[in-house]
């Protein structure tokens, strides 16, 4: 932040939320250091994302937007 370009005001408010960003980054690093806890959070995230899968989204678009019937794969 000492390089040219940082002398003036922070017109884009880049540094306005830096402290909260750093706090969350530190929390994430601590969570990641706990391998078992991190793995659990990862699996919970994966299992709860099923409803938002890309397969379901594409199927919904095909049926509701484009009104296409599925083609069976043999």
Q: Quick check: 31 and 41 in contact, CB under 8 A? A: yes
Q: Which two tokens stand for residue 36?
A: 């078992």
| Cα separation, 32 vs 22, whole angstroms | 15
Does the pLDDT at position 52 exceed 80?
Answer: no
Tally Cβ neighbours within 10 Å of residue 41.
13
Residue reference for tokens 């299992």:
47
**pLDDT, tens digit (0-9, with 9 covering 90-100), for 4-44:** 666 777 778 888 889 999 999 999 999 999 999 999 999 99
Q: What are phi and psi of 31, to 5 degrees?
A: -60, -45
- Taking the whole predicted model, whether its pTM rises above 0.85 is answered as no
In the chain, where the domains are located: 18-65
């Amino acid at each position: 932040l000492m390089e040219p370009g940082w002398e003036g005001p922070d017109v884009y408010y880049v540094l306005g939320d830096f402290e909260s960003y750093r706090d969350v980054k530190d929390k994430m690093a601590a969570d990641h250091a706990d391998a078992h806890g991190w793995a659990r959070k990862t699996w919970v995230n994966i299992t709860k994302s099923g409803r938002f899968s890309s397969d379901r989204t594409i199927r919904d678009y095909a049926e509701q937007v484009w009104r296409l019937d599925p083609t069976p794969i043999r």
